[in-house]
Every structure is written in structure tokens, then in C-alpha cells.
Amino acid sequence: MEKIIEIGTVSSRGQIAIPAGVRRKLGIGDGEKVLFVLEGDILIVKKVQEDMLTGVGIKADEKSKTGNLTAKEIIKILNMHKSEINNYGVKKIGLFGSFAKGKQNEKSDVDILVEFSNASFDNYMGLKLFLEGLFGRSVDLIIEKGLKPELNYIKKEVIYA
């Protein structure tokens, strides 16, 4: 196995910049997803296909016995990753929708209501991508401040982390 050693950088939000030579060698293009595997103090980066992402970021003991994600597990995961989530300027975050009601299926997205203390496009997109990586599912990220009056019912069903 060929060994490539290059130096990358980590942003204040914890985002890792993978050097161009490494990206080329792995065949990673802009916007493609990668899997991070931590073994001791070694971080392994693997290019993955979209269908391989189901459950990424969720440890085996965080899954229910049936292997399906539940509201309780989502809240637990949000709480476990609170410091990383706060790096995106999050003031308050909660779950609503099918998971909050216990009516989810294997194709359900995760509906998240968020209040930012520092709202920006970068914080919104960074948080959305971070959460999708955690849950291995699409995340519908709704900003509480921008909630339309006809959607105010969401505030009554949200389960905050």
C-alpha cells in the first residue's frame, strides 16, 4: 500500500481540509461524502457511496434493537454532539415531524428546528451536513425565526435536546 503523507488544516468549526493530492489519489470530488474512521489516534478517510452512509455516526449502542433510529436516540445523539453543534452558532435545537411522533419509516428524513445565535449561510449548511453525517439520513433543517405562521404548530411538537 502506497503511503502518502501531507498536512491538512482544521478550521475553527472542526472542518478538515483534505490536501488536493490526497483528494485526487482517493478520487474525491467537490461535494462527495467521505467516511471518517478513528482507530486509536489514527484517522482514516475513505471515499464512500451514498448508499453506504446509512447509520454513519451512530454507534451500535445508540441504535435501537431493530436497527431503526428513534426520537430518543436522535435527542441522545444531539446531546452527545452538543459542543460540535454549538460551533455552528446554535442557541437551541430540537426534533419534530415523523420521528418526534414515532411515525417514521426507513425513508423518513430527520426534521430539525434550530435557533441560531449567529445565523449565517455557512453555519446553516455546515450544521445541515454535520447532522446528515451523524444520522446517515437527509435532514430537513428549519430555522425557528423564519417559521411561517401556518407552521407554528411545529413549536408545540418539538422535542428539544
Long-range CB pairs of 27-36 (<8 Å, 24+ gap) are: 33/133
Active site residue 111: yes
Please indicate, yes or no, whether residues 94 and 47 belong to a single structural domain of this protein: no
Please indicate, yes or no, whether residues 77 and 150 belong to a single structural domain of this protein: yes
Q: Catalytic: which of 41, 51, 61, 109?
A: 109
- Whether 2 is covered by a domain: the verdict is no
Lowest mean pLDDT among 4-18, 32-46, 105-119, 127-141: 32-46
Please indicate, yes or no, whether residues 39 and 115 belong to a single structural domain of this protein: no
Q: Catalytic: which of 30, 41, 111, 140?
A: 111
Active site residue 51: no
Q: What is the pLDDT of residues 108-138, one digit of tens each?
A: 999 999 999 988 988 999 999 999 988 888 9
Please enumerate in sequence order all residues whose Cβ is within 8 A of that of 52, keeping only pairs 6 or more positions apart, or say none: 35
Domain count, the chain: 2
Give residue 39's pLDDT: 66
Phi, psi of 139 (to 5 degrees): -120, 130
Number of neighbouring beta carbons within 10 Å of residue 26: 15
Range picked from 16-20, 48-52, 56-60, 111-115 for highest mean pLDDT: 111-115
For all residues of the chain together, what is the average pLDDT?
82
Q: What is the pLDDT of residues 16-31, one digit of tens each?
A: 888 888 888 888 888 7
Long-range CB pairs of 21-29 (<8 Å, 24+ gap) are: none
Q: Are 144 and 92 in contact (CB under 8 A)?
A: yes
Please indicate, yes or no, whether residues 66 and 122 belong to a single structural domain of this protein: yes
CA–CA dist 58, 131 (Å, integer): 11
